[in-house]
Structure 1
Amino acid sequence: MTLISVSDGQWGFLKGNTLQARGTGRTFLDIAQSKDGKIFAVTGSSLYRLNRSGQSSFVGSLGIGSMNALGFDAKGNLFGAAGQGFYRINQGTGQATLIRRIPGFSSSGDIAFDASRKQFFATSRSPGSSSDVLVSITPKGKARRVGNIGFSDVYGLRFDRGTLIGYTVRNQEISINLVTGAGRFRRVVRVGSSVTYGAA
């Protein structure tokens, strides 16, 4: 099921196109779920672990103050992005370790791992443009610009049976072409008066 976090501090699962809230009270900039069901989220400076009953527990400080992207690889390792930085995150302590600074990259809001290609896809802000850019990043931090998405503020990403799905701050759900980067509108998600921040 699709997990999302929203601006008013709620997080939960999408049922159809509507948020079914599980937790509330703390605003998470992004949320990530591993293949074995572990759920983590970030506030920007701190890592939290969540459970499906809606409880959250503080793990630790990330050591940086602007983390807005979080994702697991196929092996269950946790990664994140903030500004130009791509990081690996200790799930026991929350400490973020810089893997590489990526020139021209500015994390817009999420990373999602494509197991078939063994790499992450990320959204990046593009100065002077109304469109975010899709970027591929290997676990070692080697990055490549894919193309303009055609939508701005794509804060959430997830894979659904090989298709990359994005969520914008305008609560648009889009599909994203992995070859060209182009996004296509699918539907609007209903999250009350909030805006979508993260997805998994």
Structure 2
Amino acid sequence: MHIAVDRSKVSYMTEEQSDRTRSGSTHSAWPMTRLICFGIILLSVISCVVIAAFRSNGLIQVTVTALNPEVEPRDHNLPFIKQQESLPDYELVVNYSNGLITNLGTKPNSSAVQGLTWRLNEPIPVCEIVGVRLQDQDKLISDVITEVQVTSDSTEADGYQFDFQTEHSVAIGVQSFFRTPIGVAISAAFFVAVLIIIFSVFIF
């Protein structure tokens, strides 16, 4: 007994089964992909909260006191061939870990014996500060008096006492987090994961 087989139908059925197999494997892969993306989003949020909390301490005020009047530099002028001493022009500069600086301003012709205070317009994350430099401001080149690190509320160096006032703020921590390389990487991973989830919802 001879059975005729339509090869075109067999070929069509084979291709259809193959398409169904590929479609089924694609459908089964998306739930796992979405699960991974949700995990990335969760880890990104947790990382952001933890790192932001660690970087939330911000410097808001610095007070510099000369422990001995003799340590204060003097500006020497020669008006009418007579030497005259004047008080220094104290200038405070904040150095960042990325190489940038912030000039907090100058206290012209001032003595630091009773203490001089610089209040910041915006808090600076302490973790981004590598040093606070006190210098005698000059039109050409300012003379560095001393430089300290913000490792405690108060520190002394070269006859000067530095008192730092800080505050904790969520906004400071979050802003500082997004300025770090790891913050940028985590943000990118979060964004990509969200896009993949949205794409999978619209496709399937």
Q: Which TM class, normalised by the smaller chain length?
A: under 0.3
Q: TM-score, normalised by structure 2?
A: 0.21
* Larger relative contact order (Cα-Cα within 8 Å, sequence gap ≥ 6): 2
Q: TM-score, normalised by structure 1?
A: 0.21
Is the strand fraction higher in 1 or 2? 1
The higher radius of gyration belongs to: 2
Is the helix fraction higher in 1 or 2? 2
